[in-house]
């Protein structure tokens, strides 16, 4: 199979696409990103990496960071983490507060904002925010095999300034006893984790530990790799998770910066980036590109 040719074809198709979705505009740093950009990068099981488009341009990984934060938290707390956050798809927007009242402050899963805030809060029971962020960056850098990965402080500041909904979620969960630290402290760390910047090429490398291939960096146990992939499949695209599973058939986690990390277990770690979003807040062209890739390669966890 000629993956390089497939990638070229996808890149060409995406460049021509007239409808690129809408760039997130809740903070100026994201609103200013040029929607004309597109990148895709793939690391194969033998370690070969192939990239097309703007694969060396750093972007805000936003909620893709929830995957790394979860892997880190499970390593620190083990299955105790599941006392505080569920594993069911939410069927609601990333920042919805609706379910929290019915479910008494227990967020549905670690990939919606409320769940990710609890995951960060749980790690902060044993780490100061600065230590936690240092450890998270170390985790991501080790996964990517690249130290040139940083937090964009301007983005973190803007997230804090516009984070009213996240503050509401945090206070609400604290009212139910499901947030142990002050909302300001936990959200300070959470906003910084959302503000990690990576290139598409770096993100594809950082996903290698989820491929389930022995030669790749082993940061978590094989059993945990399978479980993180299961959560990405069922919850990785907010209320668009079912549609992504149907169209692509691979686990993926998206972020409002327009990045998506997709894993083809045993075969590849794939990162795609295009800043324009669809209705559910997932990269529009990114989703179309991985759908095209899955169709052309036949990669799917469903056989
Ligand atoms: N920083 C965003 C928020 O918490 C992340 C959302 C996302 O990437 O989906 O609102």
DSSP 60-125: E-GGGHHHHHHHHHHHHHGGGGGGTS--S---S-TT--HHHHHTTT--S-TTSHHHHHHHHHHHTT
Confidence of residue 148 (pLDDT cuts 50, 70, 90): very high
% pLDDT > 90, the chain:
93
Give residue 91's pLDDT: 87
Share of the chain above pLDDT 70, in %: 100
Counting from 1 in the atom list of ligand 1, the atom nearest the Cα of 113 is: 4
- pLDDT at residue 131 in the model: 98
Q: In a 3-state reduction of DSSP, which class is residue 193?
A: helix
Phi, then psi, of 226 in degrees rounded to 5: -65, -40
Q: Is 158's C-beta closer than 6 angstroms to any atom of ligand 1?
A: no
Mutate to test the pocket of ligand 1, among 67, 194, 261, 286 (most ligand atoms within 8 A of CB): 194
Q: What's residue 179's pLDDT?
A: 98
pLDDT, one tens digit per residue, over 20-71 is 999 999 999 999 999 999 999 999 999 999 999 999 999 999 999 999 999 9
Q: What is the pTM of this model?
A: 0.97
- Which atom of ligand 1 is nearest the CA belonging to 255? 8
- Chain-centroid distance of CA 282 in Å reads 10
For residue 111, how far is its CA from the centre of ligand 1 (angstroms)? 10
User: Among 119, 213, 256, 290, which one carries the catalytic annotation?
Assistant: 256
Residue 23's φ and ψ, nearest 5 degrees, are -70, 140
Banded model confidence at residue 181, pLDDT cuts 50, 70, 90: very high
**Ligand 1 within 6 A of CB of 61:** no
Q: Is the CB of 29 under 6 A from ligand 1?
A: no
Residue 145 has pLDDT above 90, yes or no: yes
- Report the residue among 159, 203, 286 best suited for mutation to probe ligand 1: largest number of ligand atoms under 8 A from its CB: 159
> Which pLDDT band holds residue 303 (cuts at 50, 70, 90)?
confident
Q: How confident is the model at residue 210 (pLDDT cuts 50, 70, 90)?
A: very high
Q: How many helices (H) and strands (E) does the chain have?
A: 13, 10
260-289 pLDDT tens trace: 999 999 999 999 999 999 998 999 999 999
Average pLDDT, the chain: 96
Q: Would the pLDDT of 151 be above 90?
A: yes
Known active-site residue 63 = yes
For position 286, what pLDDT does the model report?
A: 98
Name the β-bridge partners of 270.
Answer: 42, 262
User: Ligand 1 centre from 59 Cα, in Å?
Assistant: 14
State the Cα–Cα distance between residues 301 and 286, nearest whole angstrom: 19
What are the structural domains of the chain? 3-61+198-297 (3.40.710.10), 63-196 (3.40.710.10)
Q: Which of 101, 97, 98, 64 is nearest to 228 (CA)?
A: 64
């Amino acid at each position: 199979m000629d993956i390089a040719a497939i990638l070229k074809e996808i890149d060409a198709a995406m460049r021509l696409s007239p409808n690129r979705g809408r760039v997130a505009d809740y903070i100026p740093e994201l609103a200013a990103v040029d929607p004309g950009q597109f990148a895709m990068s793939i690391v194969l099981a033998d370690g070969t990496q192939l990239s097309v488009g703007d694969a060396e341009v750093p972007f805000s990984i936003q909620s893709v960071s929830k995957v790394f934060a979860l892997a880190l938290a499970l390593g620190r707390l083990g299955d105790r983490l599941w006392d505080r956050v569920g594993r069911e798809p939410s069927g609601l927007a990333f920042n919805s507060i609706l379910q929290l009242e019915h479910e008494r402050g227990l967020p549905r899963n670690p990939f919606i904002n409320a769940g990710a805030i609890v995951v960060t809060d749980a790690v902060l029971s044993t780490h100061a925010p600065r230590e936690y962020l240092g450890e998270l960056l170390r985790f991501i850098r080790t996964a990517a095999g690249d130290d040139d990965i940083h937090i964009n402080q301007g983005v973190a500041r803007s997230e804090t300034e516009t984070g009213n909904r996240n503050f509401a979620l945090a206070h609400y969960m604290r009212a139910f006893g499901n947030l142990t630290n002050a909302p300001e402290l936990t959200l300070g760390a959470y906003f910084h984790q959302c503000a990690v910047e990576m290139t598409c090429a770096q993100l594809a490398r950082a996903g290698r530990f989820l491929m389930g291939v022995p030669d790749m960096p082993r940061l978590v146990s094989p059993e945990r790799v399978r479980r993180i992939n299961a959560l990405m499949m069922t919850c990785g695209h907010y209320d668009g998770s079912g549609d992504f599973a149907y169209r692509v058939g691979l686990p993926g986690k998206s972020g409002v910066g327009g990045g998506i990390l997709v894993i083809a277990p045993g075969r590849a770690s794939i990162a795609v980036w295009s800043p324009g979003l669809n209705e559910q807040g997932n990269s529009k062209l990114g989703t179309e590109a991985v759908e095209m890739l899955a169709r052309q390669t036949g990669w799917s966890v469903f056989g």
